[in-house]
A and B are shown apart, each in its own frame.
Chain A
Amino acid sequence: DTGVSQNPRHKITKRGQNVTFRCDPISEHNRLYWYRQTLGQGPEFLTYFQNEAQLEKSRLLSDRFSAERPKGSFSTLEIQRTEQGDSAMYLCASSLNGGTLMDTQYFGPGTRLTVL
């Protein structure tokens, strides 16, 4: 069990550019979540997948944000036309729905995005 991994760990971009982040969940986990965390705050939910289906999206997920999990394994989160307000830590988590551990979510190390 290698845990949840995220790439890149850090991303610096200029306003208006597109960025894409990747998350690889724990291998047997069928649910995958994206959260955003700004400095001094708790993580805020963005969206989640069960297998390849995107089941829920937060109102925080504007039209510039899109997430995919094409084969029910890894996921990508893309932000188009980045704005300075998008600067944050983007966290990915995975869980096993229907398991015995209360669907506990395990987090990756995050991708720190800085928009200049």
Chain B
Amino acid sequence: AQTVTQSQPEMSVQEAETVTLSCTYDTSESDYYLFWYKQPPSRQMILVIRQEAYKQQNATENRFSVNFQKAAKSFSLKISDSQLGDAAMYFCAYRTDGGSQGNLIFGKGTKLSVKP
């Protein structure tokens, strides 16, 4: 069974600085997708960034980028120029590719605080 591990329960960053959130996963599959979701205190889950496992190029979305290391099964999220609005729970998620199994498998999350 696939698992997702986020080893940092809490992280803190100074406004305008850069922070990296870690995520590792375990799978025997070669094709899959990885996601980072943000859940602000209002608790609605928002997609931050997504990555296809067959793509070697790391995904980027404005200030957010990932470091995808397929062999190491690592998928870290880098937030540049951190803003107060980035404070939230961040969840790493895995989804298999194809077949009837479509659910996301989430890690336990990392709570990010941003200091002014």
- What is the size, in residues, of chain B's interface with A at 8 Å between Cβ atoms? 25
CB distance from B116 to the nearest CB of A (A): 25
* In the complex, A33 has a CB within 8 A of chain B: yes
- Number of chain A interface residues as a range: 20 to 34
Which residues on B sit within 8 Å (CB–CB) of A110?
43-44
Query: Given the interface contacts A91-B45, A110-B43, does A102 sit within 8 Å of B106 by beta carbon?
Result: no
CB distance from B29 to the nearest CB of A (A): 15
Contact present for B35 and A109 (CB under 8 Å): no
Contact flags B49-82 to A (C-beta < 8 A → 1, else 0): 0101000000000000000000000000000000
B46 nearest in chain A by CB position = A107
Which residues on A sit within 8 Å (CB–CB) of B107?
42
- A sample of 10 more A-B contacts (CB under 8 A), given A50-B100, A56-B101, is A33-B104, A42-B106, A43-B45, A43-B106, A44-B106, A55-B100, A89-B43, A93-B104, A102-B95, A107-B46
Interface residues of B (CB under 8 A from A): 4, 33, 35, 37, 42-47, 50, 52, 91, 93, 95, 100-109
Interface residues of A (CB under 8 A from B): 31, 33, 35, 40-45, 48, 50, 55-56, 58, 89, 91, 93, 95, 97, 101-110
